[in-house]
Amino acid sequence: MKKQLFTGVLCAAILVPAGCGAGDGATEAQGGHGGTQEHGNAQEITPGLFGPGPINHRTINPQDHSDHPLNQGEINNGTSFTTLDADRPDIGDDADNMHYIAKENGFTPLYVLYGGSHATVYVNGNQGWSKQERDNKVKELRTAYEQNTPRYNVEVHVLNDG
């Protein structure tokens, strides 16, 4: 019983798609010129067999998007990168930016610690600054960090007391 059922289903699976195709006879029935029609190549047949899946998508639908701005460097929309040649900002770039801001404000940057959205910057000030001048410079430095690195809550520590 199972063997007969399996054989019937297999025959139906083979014969039904063959009868539904638009072959030479279907062209004549629709009023076309039948008989001497050439068969399509593999690229014309593949979409009907497999559909536009991820493997066949580029062969089925070839399009040139090389001039599109998104193809110049891949944009990260997920947790992994598919290419290594695109320039992506990372935590090292953020640290370089923090060091640059400290130097621009007259401090000597030492190191930066990151914890989520928090950044702690350790700097040395100028030994010649008075206490009030040092405090004003630290306020300016904090303001510069708030303006230039808005994604971090920056805490500034001056290690030498000047």
Give per-residue pLDDT as tens, 27-37: 444 555 554 45
Sheet with 153-158, edge to edge strand ranges: 108-115, 118-124, 153-158
**Cβ pair 82, 88 in contact under 8 A:** no
Q: What is the spatial distance between Cα 55 and Cα 41, in angstroms, rounded to a whole number?
A: 19
Three-state DSSP class for 84? coil
Residues 6+ apart with CB under 8 A from 86: 73, 74
State phi, psi for 68 to the nearest 5 degrees.
Answer: -70, 135
- The class level of CATH for 92-158 reads alpha beta
**Domain ranges in the chain?**
92-158
Rounded Cα distance, 46 and 28, in Å: 24
pLDDT in tens, 66-121: 555 555 555 555 555 565 566 677 888 889 999 999 999 999 999 999 998 999 99
Per-residue pLDDT at 17 exceeds 80: no
DSSP state letter for 31: T
Kindly report, residue by residue over 137-157, the tens digit of the pLDDT: 999 999 999 999 888 999 999
Q: pLDDT at position 139, please? A: 95
pTM: 0.48
pLDDT of residue 41: 67
